Amino acid sequence: MNRLLTILFAIMASTTLSAQTNKLSINAGGKSFAATLELNATAEAFAEMLPLSLNMSELNGNEKYCYLNESLPTDPQTPGTIHEGDIMLFGNSCIVIFYKTFTSGYQYTKIGHIDDTAMLAEALGSGSVRVDFSLNEPDKISNPTNKTSANNREFSAAGIADNNRPYGKSKRIIISKGKKEIK
């Protein structure tokens, strides 16, 4: 019985840890966007690759895509409706960011979603664009609308301004097998 409780506690602690470190920062076209990663093997494998810069190509006037040099785990689903801000994996190595909502019969594995898509289409532009992905520390989320202003501020996960810390580079957080490492 004690062993069963220990195993259950370990599983719950691992899930809680992953839920606390699933915030992503995306920079494109001079704008920053906060995103939330899914709690799945694909998102975890993607997070282990970060920080990452991709030159993403335009496709169909609704998405940017880039093929990775390595495969990620997949669990493809047919979402029916793809939403603006969805971050998906097509096949096993193609990262896609959607900047318009539309219906689709293609299969994707969900990686995450951009939290606030205001200005996303403008930031991604009409051609190819460099997109930088990095993980945020679990206790702070940068405000994407203030990043380039003179009054840069950081916010806690609860949305409370912390004006005592200068706006700085996000640290890299690696989640592997339920363990967190901050670099």
**What is the rounded average pLDDT of the residues 90-114?**
98
φ/ψ of residue 7, rounded to 5: -65, -45
Tokens of 103: 């219906």
**99 pLDDT higher than 90:** yes
**How many structural domains does the chain have?**
1
Which has more confidence, 80 or 146? 80
Beta-sheet strands, E only, within 6-85: 23-28, 31-37, 52-59, 63-67, 80-82
159 has pLDDT over 50: no
Between the alpha carbon of residue 59 and those of residues 43, 62, 68, 117, 140, the distances in Å are 23, 7, 16, 18, 33
Report which residue type is found at 181.
E
Distance CA 181, CA 183 (A): 7
DSSP 150: S
- The predicted model gives 45-56 an average pLDDT of 96
More confident residue, 175 or 12: 175
Residues 6+ apart with CB under 8 A from 26: 32, 33, 34, 35, 97, 114, 131, 132, 133
**Residue 152 clears pLDDT 80, i.e. is over it:** no
**Domain coverage including residue 139:** 2-182
| pTM confidence score | 0.67
pLDDT score of 51: 96
pLDDT computed for residue 176 by the predictor? 54
What CATH number does the domain containing 135 carry? 2.40.100.20
- What count of Cα atoms within 13 Å lies in the side-chain half-sphere of residue 149? 9
